[in-house]
Amino acid sequence: MAHIIANKDKILMRIKKIKGQLSGIEKAIEDEKDCFKVLQQISASRGAIQSLMNELLNDHIKEHLGNHVSEEQRAQEIENITNLLKTYLK
Amino acid sequence: MAHIIANKDKILMRIKKIKGQLSGIEKAIEDEKDCFKVLQQISASRGAIQSLMNELLNDHIKEHLGNHVSEEQRAQEIENITNLLKTYLK
Amino acid sequence: MAHIIANKDKILMRIKKIKGQLSGIEKAIEDEKDCFKVLQQISASRGAIQSLMNELLNDHIKEHLGNHVSEEQRAQEIENITNLLKTYLK
Amino acid sequence: MAHIIANKDKILMRIKKIKGQLSGIEKAIEDEKDCFKVLQQISASRGAIQSLMNELLNDHIKEHLGNHVSEEQRAQEIENITNLLKTYLK
């Protein structure tokens, strides 16, 4: 089973939490809170999404490039992952 | 007026859009879409939040460290911004 | 043949160039040049080394996780690359 | 006195160390060492230069935007630092 489906509930929970952080940022802006407080919250939500991305990327490499994958699939996944890294890492 | 308040509507729109991206990711996971598609969407939402953060950070330096700020305030803002950068840049 | 060996001359040239940038930074510091000029040069050399790393990482995934690799080797390489990414991406 | 000049010896030592890491990478490539070992070393040298950059950036903000700076200088430094961040953070 695909790694994201296998960890579905845990991943959905993390995304829900990040959406909650963003709602908190919206409220802080609407309430005209201190700019620095807003920056801190945006930095935290970027940290949360980046750390989710990094974990899923590692899971993805482990699962979709592993030995149980067909040769055709692996060639396609390597193409996909290297294209994604070009955008993600720049 | 503070830079975030001055650009309130535009910033709120961008945060709303990122929340929309995250809702799309939730739906893709619930529908058990291809893992790679999910990764691409997470990478895009991370790009969007990071680019918002980088812009607000620059606006913040321009406004909160500028010449119109009191000495006491500036000392505090420099303390704040360098502490934030330690977390954000690592 | 390993991807780094296949591109040996080109990669060595890039590393030599980065060492040259660092020597320029040493000289700028010794000559007590403007701090901002030094920062710009350090930022450029970090850009150069990061872009080399990103390219080699992609080449590495293409070559060392590809279909021609033995199952035992692939398992080891996946272990290696995901460990490296944990440090590199954080 | 400028922050880089004040810490001249320590900064020069770190740059020298990074150049040493790069020489080690050159040697590893010439000796046709395992690609993964080369990647690890490049990742480490990128970490070293990035952490130097982040520290100097923070020192720079503290010193060159601080209260003892003239208004004209501060306006120029804010222009400089925000331009640099646009490249460095993207």
D58: nearest CA partner in chain C? C39
Of A12, A39, A57, the CB nearest to B56: A39
**Touching D: which chains, 3+ CB pairs < 8 A?**
B, C
What range does the domain containing B77 cover?
Answer: 3-89
ipTM exceeding 0.90?
A: yes
Cα C60 to Cα C63: distance, rounded to the nearest angstrom: 5
- The DSSP secondary structure of chain A, one letter per residue, reads --HHHHTHHHHHHHHHHHHHHHHHHHHHHHTT--HHHHHHHHHHHHHHHHHHHHHHHHHHHHHHSSTTS-HHHHHHHHHHHHHHHHHHH-
Residue C22 has pLDDT above 60, yes or no: yes
| C-alpha to C-alpha distance for D55 and D58, rounded to whole angstroms | 5
C51 contact residues in D (CB cutoff 8 A): none
Predicted confidence (pLDDT) per residue in B9-59, tens digit: 999 999 999 999 999 999 999 999 999 999 999 999 999 999 999 999 999
| CB-based burial label for D46 (10 Å; 0-12, 13-18, 19+) | buried
Angle between helices D35-64 and C71-89 (to 10 degrees): 10
Q: What is the pLDDT of residue A1?
A: 57
Chain A positions touching chain C (beta carbons under 8 Å): 54, 57-58, 61-62, 65-67, 71, 74-75, 78, 81-82, 85-86, 89-90
pLDDT tens-digit profile of D4-14? 988 999 999 99
If you compute the radius of gyration of chain B from its CA atoms, what whole number of angstroms results? Answer: 17
Which positions in chain B have a beta carbon within 8 angstroms of at least one beta carbon in chain A?
Answer: 2-5, 8, 11-12, 15-16, 18-19, 22-23, 25-26, 29-30, 32, 34-36, 38-40, 42-43, 45-47, 49-50, 52-53, 56-57, 60, 63-64, 77, 80-81, 84, 87-88
Determine contact, residues A43/B53, Cβ cutoff 8 Å: yes
Total tally of structural domains belonging to chain D: 1
For residues A81 and D66, what is the distance between their CA atoms, to the nearest angstrom?
45
Read off the CATH number of the domain in which D65 is found. Answer: 1.20.58.1000
Mean pLDDT of all residues in chain A? 95
A40-69 pLDDT, tens per residue? 999 999 999 999 999 999 999 999 999 999
